[in-house]
Structure 1
């Protein structure tokens, strides 16, 4: 493709991609997850301009009539923009947990299978980050749920987390690219769409603007703090381990913010799934408020089987037991 126009929007997207590449130094090819929407189209154009080699992966969720044509059009645009290769990957969205979650799981699995060992760039913007933080606040499950998406969580890279959605749209207009408008993105039946079209605009109006950027900054600060606490927790977990068990005496004096991270990592390693804050606090009580209470059942196992954390003789153990 010819050199990109040097408009403010295109330059902002390019600079974001350039900075991400400089920070994370991927070797050789990067893969762009291309939907055909404005965010991923702008990202693809910038990646081609900034990275040595770019492949595009287009996931066809097959949820709407004509989705194959939409995917084929996106792949053709990727080649026009200068991608070395563009592949369409059809998926079946059949998992449980709601359409949004099922589509996301199918998409990430397809991208992971097709990336060929290369990092995958995703078109998440500052606006997506703000929506993610609000969703995390609604869950009420602590700092981990409101620190948003990481700039790089291998193999997933997000160069546009400080770029507004309006900027990617302007960049596409400057490039004479008409983005695909997914009807799901305007369907109020999806929680994220209502956040985008109702809640965030109301907050921006009521608080005088700047809310999305403030939420994104908060996510970044919480992520930095969380990384420090996670490092301390890994060190404490290594010190407290005795085989598969934990030695209670080595956890007593640890600050609670670190100790609960230790317990979370230990339980996940033991096979826990979908840990709740209530469960984690109950397991923590086996250390901080020990009164001889019984074990704590947490998510994990299969039908008729539970993972139970219990304390005996100064040790915490996690075992699968039959109901």
Structure 2
């Protein structure tokens, strides 16, 4: 977390520790995501949201599909949240069009909505209405990751990218960002649908490496792929360059031991925390939520110790 972000959080904490006029009880906020706590990444998002709700005495309800990236179910859950007429809703926009009608319904009913974590790269805010986005620019993150990987000097000819949830807007944007930079340098990008099943992931990548022995690197777009594929990468030793997105205790360990070069940090705790905070401030003081870029951070051997303990606590 940078100094500016820390100051913002400190200011909010001071504000919310003061007596609050005009409300006899906490605000009611719903958080709707496309994935749940079964994914290690989402434990951090939800921890941030719950900590914020506790700090501002908000009533927080978290809704997520049992199957990750079940867009139909997420749409139903968003409709359920709207029907509850809360003071605000935070939702991922995990599909370019599937949630549009529900977001318009929320606007018609006067329910403030902020988007967090996942957003189409070229979203039209007039067509798909929301007040603010709290999250990382995934396209820029993909480009930054590609540049950092190229700087290692270990990539040649071909790179495999493990996509655990094909079609998810954020992952698509990351993949496109990676392609932009790698293909400019003449490196072929092979996107592999590794699913959320670890056994399937390992088989898909094993088959690909056999068919494409000129593959010099593997980049995972999230922790599900990283956790599944780390044993395979370890077996190959230093022959296969390895990088990822997002932080978990395992990615920290992989970086510390030299198996992984780096991971991209989007500060999911801040995404969950600030989504709830902004909606609570809107409910209390009629303040309009504003975009917050949670950044494209690179965690590698030089700074991994700063996040090691916090990763175990589901904060980083």
Q: TM-score when scaled to structure 1?
A: 0.28
- State TM-score, norm by structure 2: 0.28
